[in-house]
Amino acid sequence: MSITVVGSVALDTVETPAGRNEEGLGGAATYFSLSAAHYAQVHLVGVVGEDFPQAHVDLLQAHGIHLEGLERVPGRTFRWAGRYHEDVNERDTLDTQLNVFENFHPRLPEPAREAPYLFLGNIHPSLQLEVLNQANPVFTALDTMNLWIDTTREELSQVLARTDAIIINDAEVKQLTGRANLIRGAQEVAALGPRVVVVKKGEHGCLLFAGGTVFSAPAFPLENVVDPTGAGDAFAGGFMGFIAQKNRLDTATLRQAVIHGSVVASFVCEDFGPAALAALTAEGIAGRFEEFKALVDF
Amino acid sequence: MSITVVGSVALDTVETPAGRNEEGLGGAATYFSLSAAHYAQVHLVGVVGEDFPQAHVDLLQAHGIHLEGLERVPGRTFRWAGRYHEDVNERDTLDTQLNVFENFHPRLPEPAREAPYLFLGNIHPSLQLEVLNQANPVFTALDTMNLWIDTTREELSQVLARTDAIIINDAEVKQLTGRANLIRGAQEVAALGPRVVVVKKGEHGCLLFAGGTVFSAPAFPLENVVDPTGAGDAFAGGFMGFIAQKNRLDTATLRQAVIHGSVVASFVCEDFGPAALAALTAEGIAGRFEEFKALVDF
């Protein structure tokens, strides 16, 4: 089954202890799409400027990603620049230029409206509502961030009430619920709407709350993290991609989907930008899935 | 097979969001012993003052813990007081009175010298060396802390060279090795001596590096943490206790031992002091072990 993703497409300049990547292909919708495309048909809805390199369009198309919803408008593409610390779990944002993203209003072409799976990337909740009003999904998942939790709580609540799953990090759970205990916090997030709650904990893996059970998924033990940019978005792509491929929403499928998200996220960290995702094969995914099995076996 | 543990026996005053426990039974060797005693014979080596309540001695003896090595000397028992934050992963130490612990030199009675398993609790590395010089273990595990890593690196290195396993938290791995990446850090810790490295990550579970493999163990998802004091020491007790019970050191046994450590540590957090450990049954341990299986199943 197909997936529609709405979110940012960007040019990222990233410095990490491993080196520097200048104006590389980035953005949440990019990482999501290149991950999910390993599992299912993906419709990308976003916006770029006149300066967006054709080579990036070609790369996305080469991976079978449907780009009818990727608008190209006058102006410059969204740019983000960041520097990771020696401990790559920490980073500083050096520059953010919204550019054409500032006045973005998502418009879903017909096939994107019909996709049964929908991922609302981390954009203003009022834009997420605009997307929901155009689409007709059977399963909607949501990303958000501290800024929207702080400043647009009312709109965010409306979105939450209409979503099936939220993918959120541990700090955001605490911020959204005021609960120091992550387990209670996740239960309170579920009470806001999404019956599936995925809590990302970076290098500590993630927790899935679904079907009345808790699932603890490890992070892959990487000795050498080159660039963690986009790992969270790739996680969401692997998660939603696997669910769309199976077209099932039972707890066992959701648990395996979390591992597939973790698999593609681990690959992303091993190279700059989405390079590792673009080079990834079905054999690579299957092999690392088995490594995750061995990692938790007792 | 039997285990000898050397470490603190204390009276703890603890405040947590759930309440207050005044001058309760505490100390690393106490938590270790009450955990390990569910699996194996335990010889406790430590020191208390004249004020140490007989009821605590009775409790330890009621759990079959051998106390020939628990000296009672003139003076007051070691006291610690701490206050946990709303987020119980954070705490402030309010008071530390070493008292009789200040001049402690461990003396192992004959049965403690002969125990094949030895746990060196978190005491000055020169005291840990004194213990090693009196004992004849087949498997030695070690706890340490930031203070000794900072101030007694040379003695700590001598201890590490003579131990088989270290149980250490993630911050200490970074401090000991200077590595921001935990996987590389753990490998460098192993190069200092211990072929088994257990990295505790609190609410994020722990990692076991042994036999050329990495094992990721989850923490038990507790909705209500009453008092986390001693959870790390209880973990070590369950880990060593299970290994001593099986009298095996293969990787599969070590992985199961990590889960048993996590099982008893999870119980500790559910009540003040070692109360939950004292009330724990074999059925309780077996039941939670199965819950850990379900927690990571995919």
Pairing of strands A3-6, A117-120: parallel
Q: Do A213 and B256 touch (CB under 8 A)?
A: no
Cβ of A6 under 8 Å from any chain B Cβ?
A: no
Query: Rounded to an integer, what is the distance from CA A162 to the centroid of its chain?
Result: 18
Q: Which residues of chain A make contact with B224, given a CB cutoff of 8 A?
A: 181
**φ, ψ (nearest 5 deg) of residue A195:** -80, -10
In the structure, what pLDDT confidence band is assigned to residue B208 with cuts at 50, 70 and 90? very high
Lowest mean pLDDT among A86-90, A112-116, A189-193: A86-90
Question: What number is the average pLDDT over the span A21-32?
Answer: 98
In the structure, what pLDDT confidence band is assigned to residue B268 with cuts at 50, 70 and 90? very high
Burial environment of residue A187 by CB neighbours within 10 A (0 to 12, 13 to 18, 19 or more): middle
What percent of chain A shows pLDDT beyond 70?
100
Q: What is the interface pTM, i.e. ipTM, of the complex?
A: 0.94
- What is the pLDDT at residue A132? 98
Express each pLDDT in B32-42 by its tens digit.
999 999 999 99
Rounded Cα gap, residues A195 and A296, in angstroms: 26
In the structure, what pLDDT confidence band is assigned to residue A98 with cuts at 50, 70 and 90? very high
Cβ of A217 under 8 Å from any chain B Cβ?
A: yes
State the DSSP code for B100: G
Q: Which residues of chain B make contact with A224, given a CB cutoff of 8 A?
A: 181
Minimum distance, in Å, between the CA of residue A207 and any CA atom of chain B = 9
- For chain B positions 156-215, those within 8 Å of chain A (CB to CB) are 174, 180-184, 187, 201, 203-205, 207, 213-215
Instruction: Give chain B's mean pLDDT.
Output: 97
Closest residue in A to B290 (Cα) is A298
- What is the pLDDT at residue B282? 97
- What is the pLDDT at residue A2? 98
Express each pLDDT in A140-193 by its tens digit.
999 999 999 999 999 999 999 999 999 999 999 999 999 999 999 999 999 999
Question: How many CB atoms are closer than 10 A to CB B45?
Answer: 28
Question: What number is the average pLDDT over the span B5-14?
Answer: 98
Rounded Cα gap, residues B182 and B102, in angstroms: 34
- Which SS3 state, helix, strand or coil, does residue B192 take? coil
Please list the residues that pair with B216 across neighbouring strands.
Answer: B207
- What is the pLDDT at residue B253? 98
In the structure, what pLDDT confidence band is assigned to residue A52 with cuts at 50, 70 and 90? very high
In the structure, what pLDDT confidence band is assigned to residue B279 with cuts at 50, 70 and 90? very high
- Single-letter amino acid code for the residue at A85: H
